[in-house]
Amino acid sequence: MHPTRRTTPPPFRLLRGLRVWAALATLVGAGCATSDVSSDQKIMDGVMECLPPRTPTPTLVSRAIWFPHARGVGAVESWNTGYGSGVLAWSDGQLWFMMWNDAEKHYDMQSVIPLRTAQRVYLDGLFGGLVLVVESQNLSFDAFKLMGRGNIRSDPARTREWLAAIEAWRAQHPLATY
């Protein structure tokens, strides 16, 4: 041991290590919280206000980032398409993506994607993050990254849940052109 180097006694090293791990767990845990916002009444009120009249209450609602014209995480197109952060809702066989208009205090509809006529709906991922990708019949693409509450990471479990629900719905509502 070097004579001028101070060493931390073992109990204090353990405490310092625990503090570091606790801080990391807090950061990672914040990003892992679910993207589901269907239990947030204020958000649901805003979503329902944004949807057209007589649209049923959405089956699924999540915080999301929309990547228009993106085929998925790994596609070159996805890095140059721009994006929007907002809420993704699924109701009446359609995906509704809306963004919060802070100046007017309401959601603005940005995109409506009919799932019945979609060519394909699939997941794409990289390093544990997943995006839900919809390929329309006109060969346009839209990708959605469902976000955890901490905005650090995606919500892979919720993304898989969305895909399973959409696939089940599409199986019950077949279209000859699938």
Q: Which residue has the higher pLDDT, 177 or 142?
A: 142
Is residue 165 domain-resident? yes
Residue 177 inside a domain? The answer is no
81, 133 in Cβ contact below 8 A? no
- The answer to the question of residue 157 being in a domain is yes
Total Cβ atoms within 10 A of residue 39: 9
pLDDT of residue 52: 94
> Is the residue at 143 inside a domain?
yes
Is position 41 within any domain? yes
User: With 50 as the cut, is the pLDDT of residue 54 above it?
Assistant: yes
Number of domains the chain is built from: 1
State residue 160's pLDDT score: 94
Helix (H, G, I), strand (E, B) or coil at 92: coil
pLDDT in tens, 11-41: 544 444 434 333 333 333 333 445 778 788 8
pLDDT for position 70: 83
Looking at residue 130, which CATH number applies to its domain?
2.30.29.30
- Residue 164 maps to a domain: yes
Residue 44 resides in a domain: yes
pLDDT per position as a tens digit, 84-119: 889 999 998 999 999 999 999 999 999 999 998 899
pLDDT (0 to 100) of residue 98: 96
* Strand spans (E) along the chain: 60-68, 84-91, 94-101, 106-114, 120-126, 129-135, 141-146
Domain hosting residue 130, numbered range: 10-172
Average pLDDT along the chain:
78
Which pair of structure tokens corresponds to residue 4? 């001028």
| The predicted structure's pLDDT at residue 1 | 52
**Domain contains 101:** yes
pLDDT of res. 175 = 74
